Structure formats: C-alpha cells, structure tokens
C-alpha cells in the first residue's frame, strides 16, 4: 500500500540480454550443489592467477557461494552479489453487499506477487552499490538504485540514489522479513522510495541510530524541482534494554517528516490484501505541505516479539475540487436524508428531472482547510520452535528467524520454524470535508520457515470499513510461498566501520 506520490518509477529493461543472463546465472546457482562453489572468503583455487600490485584485478574473478552467488576479484577488492526474491500468493476475498460498488469487485485467485532481482556489492573497501528490480511482464520496476560511502568523517555513511526514505519500523523492514504477508493499514501514510541523499550512523556503542535525508518523489532528472514534492525525513532509534543472555531487547524510535506538496496527492488503501479493492480513498487533492510523525516500539524476549507503531499526517492548506452534477447532489441527498426526500415527493409532488441536460452539467465544488489522518497497529508473534528474530543494531530492524532444524524429508529430521501471530490495525482517512473512509482490521497469521531461504505463510484478515455511503465488512484468506536467495550481510544500511564484525548484535548464539 502506498500513496500516489510515493510510487516507484517504472522503466523498460535497459538490456534484456543482461537480465536474462543474471536470471540464468541465479537459477544455475540454485540448482547446483553448493559444494561446487568455494565458500565466500575461501582461498582462490589452485592454478588461478594471483593479483599483483595495488590495483584490483579485473581479469580474474573468483565465483563463490554465500547464500547466493558472489563474484569477486581474486584480491577481493571488487565484489558483486546476486540474490533472487520470489513470492506466489493464493487469495480468497468475500465482502458484504454494503461494500459493492467500491472500485473493482473482491476476487479469488492466484498471482505472482513479486519476482525481484537484487544485485549489490562494493566498488572499493568503503564504497557500496545496489541495484534492485521487480520483474513484471517484460518491464523492470526500479526499487533500489544507489551508491553508499562508509566511514565518512564526522558523519558515518552517506547514500545517494533512489531508495527508501528513512521513516518507521515496518516501512523500513524488508518485505521478506515481515511477520505478516502484507504491511499494516498504517503503512499507507508512510513515504515510499524517492530520489535523494541520506546520512546515517550509529552511536553509543550501537545503542542509538540516526538517519536523515532529503528526497524528490520522481526519478526523472528533468522533473526535479518543477512539480514534484520535496521531503525532509529522519529516523532515530534506540535500544533502551538489551540483555544478550536472555535474548531480551526493548526498541524505541521516532520518525518526523516534512513534505512540500507541489503536485496532486492521494491516499488509497487495500485491506492488507493485495487482490482486494481499495476500500479507502481520499481522491486527488492538493495542499501546501504535509507534516508526518511516526512513533515506534518493539519488545523482544526469546521467541516473543511485541511491535507497534502510530502514524500521524497533518495536511496544511488542503484543497479538493470535484466535478459534480445536480444529479449527484440529489442522489447523495436521497441516500443521506431518505425521509426528507420521501416527504418532499409525497407532499409537493416534486420529482428531480434526472433526464434534463441541465442536471447533467458538471461543475466544481472546492473546499480548503487543514485535516489530519491517523494510522496505527499493534502485533504479537511467537515462534513455537524456540528461535528468535535477530536484531540489526546498525539499522534498528528485525530480521527473519533462522530454523535450528531446517525441514528435511530425510527421516523427517527437521520441522523448520513455526510462528503464530496476531495484529490489530486501524486507518482513519476522514476529517473535516475529506471522507477517505475508516477501516479496522484483525489479522491472524501462521508462518512456516522451512529453512533460511523458504517460507510458507497463512493469513486470515477480517476488516470493517466505513466510507461515505458504504459500510460493511470483508474477509480474506491468503496462502503464500516465498523463496529467497539472499547473500549474507545484507542490511538496510550495512556496517559502516571495519570493526563491526556482525550486524546481528542481539544474538549471542544465532540458532
């Protein structure tokens, strides 16, 4: 779920042959035996030429396997890692008759939710890069495309390109690490990706992180500064309690943001189900500025995780203009005031001339003012098999559990990891003259992590919707198969100092 101004840029593949080669190479890595590759960091094979001098060797690359394909020069100065992310969903959605007419009808079916290629690596010991694409029907939707420099004096890390704006816990968490299949309703109010620059670092022994950046909503250089929104956002997180022996951690965070809106804006939300209609919708509106504030907290103790966030968006100088007709007004009045309409028809014989041309001429109704939107959620999850979700102290994010005993058909020696979860979320897009609707959802989930690369998820969603003249509830059941080849040491921002040995500091012994 994303607002209209936060949509990612789409573009055709720059070179389809290159992408085919990347996919083929990745699939080759999946099917091949891991023993065919030297482990990452292992010595170069006998007979391979060795780099000489101070410059990197560009002629000899040492392929290896580290939960994904890794190509690097023999002197280990240049490196390319390739990962693949695949999601397939089965969904069934039903809704009350009171919600009929709200966009596309609820449907049941299956879809490839996501197919993503992730290429990242380093150009030097301190310069990192990342290219991440969603492949859909011969097109590539740009997700991440940036360069990052670490160990910048007095700063830490600087990132430049197209990437996520640092805002909120759930928003910053990778989709492959989420507890539920989809993010909560509150995520509708958070900014998505943009073109910009950010600064980030950790202080106080990695107990405190800060991240601030400025962004444009467009990925087109020609449009920057003309009609696109400009934002200044930041995120500060802290570890208030940390006990590695008990695997206990209390995470707190806050994310402020300010957006200058120079173009049409819109908020619309699905009920945490990708194939369901967008029940909530503000319609297009323009405004002078938008103030955002997100408060986040999470408590982890062993297999237990409690997490919650509250998002507030205040729109200043909001203005909405709609083309309406007298017919529209009369129909709206008959729905909102049925007794008055029947009284007028019965006592005066009045009938609105719906076939008259005059009643079909559209005109604009414009309103202006400030309004507020709210979103929040709270969730609880518990891993029945005893594992825990590792915590990345450098980015203030939780990862996915790693099964102690991966699922195996050989003697049924392993069952993988099993997790149960529940979530309550609410989104309010109605204020003053803006009636984008209100929705409250309850979501129940079961996750089965077969191993560190495969996951099955089962989600049930019950939602209550109230928007304009529509009111009712919906139910959805979802099943997901997820497969990942994710090279190790991937975090949202990654280590910035050579002394940082591991990103998962909240894990005395990673099980």
Read off the pTM.
0.75
Going residue by residue through the chain, which has 511 residues, state the pLDDT in tens, using 9 for 90 and above: 444 433 333 333 344 443 444 444 444 444 443 344 444 444 444 444 444 444 444 445 666 666 667 777 766 678 888 888 899 999 999 988 888 877 666 678 888 888 988 888 888 878 899 998 888 766 778 788 999 998 888 888 999 999 999 999 999 999 889 999 999 999 999 998 899 999 999 998 889 999 999 998 764 444 444 446 789 999 999 999 999 888 999 999 999 999 887 667 889 999 999 888 899 998 888 788 899 999 999 999 999 999 999 999 998 876 655 555 555 566 656 655 666 666 666 655 555 545 554 444 454 445 566 889 999 999 999 999 999 999 999 899 999 999 999 998 776 678 899 999 999 999 999 987 788 899 999 999 999 999 989 999 999 999 999 988 888 999 999 999 999 887 544 343 333 333 233 233 333 333 3
Domain 4-325+362-485 annotated CATH 3.40.50.2020: no
Q: CA 98, CA 335: separation in Å to the nearest integer? A: 13
Q: Where are the domains of the chain?
A: 4-325+362-485
CB half-sphere exposure, 370, CA atoms < 13 A: 6
Contacts of 47 by beta carbon, 8 Å cutoff, 6+ apart: none
- Whole-number Cα distances in Å, 106 to 56, 100, 274, 277, 350: 56, 9, 11, 6, 38
116: phi then psi, degrees, rounded to nearest 5: -130, 140
Q: CA 154, CA 453: separation in Å to the nearest integer? A: 38
């Amino acid at each position: 779920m994303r607002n209209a101004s936060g949509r990612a840029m789409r573009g055709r593949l720059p070179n389809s042959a290159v992408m085919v080669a990347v996919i083929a190479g990745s699939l080759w890595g999946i099917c091949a035996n891991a023993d065919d590759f030297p482990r990452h960091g292992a010595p170069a094979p006998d007979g391979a030429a060795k780099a000489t001098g101070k410059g990197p060797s560009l002629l000899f690359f040492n392929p290896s396997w580290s939960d994904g394909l890794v190509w690097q020069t023999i002197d280990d100065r240049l490196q390319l890692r390739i990962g693949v992310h695949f999601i397939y969903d089965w969904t069934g959605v039903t809704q009350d008759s009171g919600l009929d007419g709200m966009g596309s009808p609820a449907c049941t079916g299956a879809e490839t939710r996501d197919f993503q290629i992730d290429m990242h690596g380093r150009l030097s010991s301190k310069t990192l890069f990342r290219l991440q694409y969603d492949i859909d029907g011969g097109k590539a939707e740009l997700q991440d495309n940036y360069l990052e420099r670490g160990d910048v004096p007095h700063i830490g890390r600087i990132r430049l390109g197209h990437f996520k704006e640092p805002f909120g816990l759930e928003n910053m968490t990778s989709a492959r690490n989420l507890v539920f299949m989809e993010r909560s309703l509150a995520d509708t109010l958070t900014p998505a990706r943009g073109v910009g620059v950010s600064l980030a670092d950790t202080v106080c022994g990695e107990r405190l992180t800060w991240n601030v950046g400025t962004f444009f909503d467009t990925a087109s250089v020609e449009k920057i500064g003309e009609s696109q929104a400009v934002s200044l956002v930041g995120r500060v997180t802290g570890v208030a309690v940390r006990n590695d022996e008990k695997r206990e951690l209390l995470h707190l965070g806050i994310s402020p943001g300010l957006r200058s809106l120079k173009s049409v804006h819109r908020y619309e939300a699905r009920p945490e189900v990708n194939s369901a209609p967008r029940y909530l919708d503000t319609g297009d509106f323009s405004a002078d500025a938008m103030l955002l504030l997100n408060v986040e907290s999470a408590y982890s103790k062993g297999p237990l995780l409690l997490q919650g966030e509250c998002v507030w968006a205040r729109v200043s100088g909001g203005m909405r203009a709609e083309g309406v007709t007298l017919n529209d007004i009369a129909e709206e009045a008959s729905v909102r005031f049925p007794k008055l309409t029947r009284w007028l028809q019965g006592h005066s014989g009045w009938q609105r001339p719906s076939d008259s041309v005059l009643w079909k001429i559209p005109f604009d109704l414009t309103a202006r003012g400030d309004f507020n939107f709210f979103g929040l959620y709270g969730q609880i999850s518990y891993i029945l098999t005893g594992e825990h979700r590792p915590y990345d102290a450098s980015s203030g994010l939780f990862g996915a559990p790693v099964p102690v005993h991966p699922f195996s058909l050989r003697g049924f020696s392993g069952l993988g990891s099993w997790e149960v979860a529940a979530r309550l979320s609410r989104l309010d897009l109605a204020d003053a003259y803006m009636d984008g609707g209100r929705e409250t959802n309850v979501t129940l989930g079961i996750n089965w992590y077969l191993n560190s690369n495969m996951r099955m998820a089962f989600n049930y969603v019950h939602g209550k919707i109230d928007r304009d003249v529509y009111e009712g509830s919906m139910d959805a059941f979802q099943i997901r198969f997820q497969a990942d080849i994710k090279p190790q040491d991937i975090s949202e921002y990654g280590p910035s100092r050579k002394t940082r040995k591991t990103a998962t500091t909240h894990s005395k012994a990673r099980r």
